[in-house]
Structure 1
């Protein structure tokens, strides 16, 4: 049995409802979740613990970047010398300002997302990215407006 089928057998409708409610507000008390789901607090507490312990969900804090002074967000697409991919990945991981790095297939080789406090920081970040051996081309997009964000 593959991992996906195994996971489906361990998750039931109540688990999915708990996850959906936590996605809306991860700080809801177990007692509130229990009321909404017509269940006991003990059941909800045990279910959440199991979901966390088995890796179905994780508890994280998401930064409100604009409240922290990060006014410029955007995306950088990279075309690279694919023979240097491993080295490029290591260099990208070390760069401050990048909070998302994805290796792609298609027109670009990497998709990077950044948050910086100023155009000066963006300029420095782009200089650092372009200085990585094997980076052939960068395309930068600045976010004008965040329309939807789902986690």
Structure 2
């Protein structure tokens, strides 16, 4: 995956988009039309592509592309960023934690987990566990420190399942639902 790929929505945003009272499945106040989807597909393939090239490809004006991209970014549907392969930088310990905490400890546990430098994704889940965490550590020593010291500081943990990734077969953020 190269630089400038597209991420549609992100749990790393400081606040979620406002609730949509119309019941829109996107939950962000508007519905994507065909032009929005085509623009998103073009940016997903190359997030650094010039608006004029996208406009030419879609047979619309550059101003239309610029306005729609701004609208999608403002609504937090679209975030354009560079993807860095952590393995290329020497981060070899990738871990998934499935954590079950008491309901009263959930908010505090999420707050603590999101503050860690090593966490790359934290989300609330339903099922056997109620928190999903992706972690990235440089080596087994830093992984051990996080798991033994930092994780032990979180109150209300009932159960933890740890899954260490030993080989990545696909690492791609292309959302085929846009097709």
Q: Same fold (TM over 0.5)?
A: yes
Tell me the number of residue pairs that the alignment of Structure 1 and Structure 2 aligns. Answer: 149
Q: For residues 151 and 71 of structure 2, what CA distance do their matches in structure 1 show? A: 41
Checking the alignment, whether the CA contact within 8 Å between 1:130 and 1:138 is kept in structure 2 is no
- Unmatched 5+ stretches in structure 2: 1-20, 175-179
Q: For residues 68 and 105 of structure 2, what CA distance do their matches in structure 1 show? A: 45
The structure with the larger Rg is 1
Checking the alignment, whether the CA contact within 8 Å between 1:52 and 1:58 is kept in structure 2 is yes
**2:125 — aligned with what?**
104
Q: For residues 77 and 124 of structure 2, what CA distance do their matches in structure 1 show? A: 24
- Unmatched 5+ stretches in structure 1: none
| Residue from 64, 80, 86 that aligns with 1:43 | 64
Secondary structure of 1:58's match? strand
Q: Compute the displacement of 1:98 (Å).
A: 0.8
List 4+ stretches of structure 1 deviating above 6 A: none
String of CA shifts for 1:84-105, please: whole Å, max 9, x gaps: 2222222212222111111222
Q: Compute the displacement of 1:3 (Å).
A: 4.9
**1:135 — aligned with what?**
157
**1:149 — aligned with what?**
172
| Residue from 60, 69, 78 that aligns with 2:99 | 78
Structure with the bigger percentage of helix: 1
Q: Compute the displacement of 1:52 (Å).
A: 2.0
Q: For residues 23 and 80 of structure 2, what CA distance do their matches in structure 1 show? A: 22
| Residue from 54, 71, 78 that aligns with 1:33 | 54
Q: For residues 75 and 91 of structure 1, what CA distance do their matches in structure 2 show? A: 16
Q: 1:52 to 1:91 in 2, by over 3 A?
A: closer
Q: 1:85 to 1:65 in 2, by over 3 A?
A: same
Checking the alignment, whether the CA contact within 8 Å between 1:70 and 1:117 is kept in structure 2 is yes
**1:69 — aligned with what?**
90
